[in-house]
Amino acid sequence: TVGNRGICATVLFSGAALSDSPVGLAAYILEKYSTATNIDYRSLPDGGLTRRFTMDELLTIVSIYWFNGNVANSLRYYKEHFRNPFKLFSLNRYISVPTGYAAFPKDLMRQPKEVIEMMFNLTSYTEMESGAHFVALEVPKLLADDLIKFVKTIPELIT
C-alpha cells in the first residue's frame, strides 16, 4: 500500500518499533489486512476485518509475527521493492516461462492483462469473481482451482 513506502524509508526503525509493541504490531498488521482486502473497509469502524477473516485467523497471523520476532525481516521486502517498484517489470526482457495470472478484483497491485502479456508468456489468465491481496485466506478454493487450471495448460507437467 502507499503507506508502505513511508515505512520502507525507515525499515530498521519501523521493525524495531513493531518488535517492541504487540499492540502496535497488531494495529499495523490488521490495518494491512483491512486495506488490502477492500480499500473501502478503511472507513468502517472495525475495518471490515471479520467480513473475510475470523478473529482466530487474524490473531494467529499477528501471533506468528510476534512470537517468531521476524516483523523487521518481513518489512525488508517492501524496502527493496519500493526502492524501484518497476525493476521486476522492466520491459527489456521477456519471461518465456509459462505464466498464469489470477486477476482478483480488489487486489491493490493488480496489473492489466496487456502489461502481463508484454512481459510474460501468459498461458492462463483468469478474471476472478472475488478476492484481494490475501487470497489464500480469503478464497482458498478459488485460488486452488485456478492453480490447477494453470498447471493443466503446461503439457510438460501433465504425466
Give the DSSP letter of residue 155. Answer: G
Tell me: pLDDT of 19 over 90.
no
The closest of 68, 65, 53 to 23, measured between CA atoms, is 65
pTM to 2 decimal places: 0.74
pLDDT tens digits for range 28-82: 999 999 998 888 888 999 999 999 899 999 999 999 999 998 888 888 777 776 6
E strand or H helix at 114: helix 113-119
Which of the four pLDDT bands, split at 50, 70 and 90, describes residue 125? very high
DSSP code at position 56: H
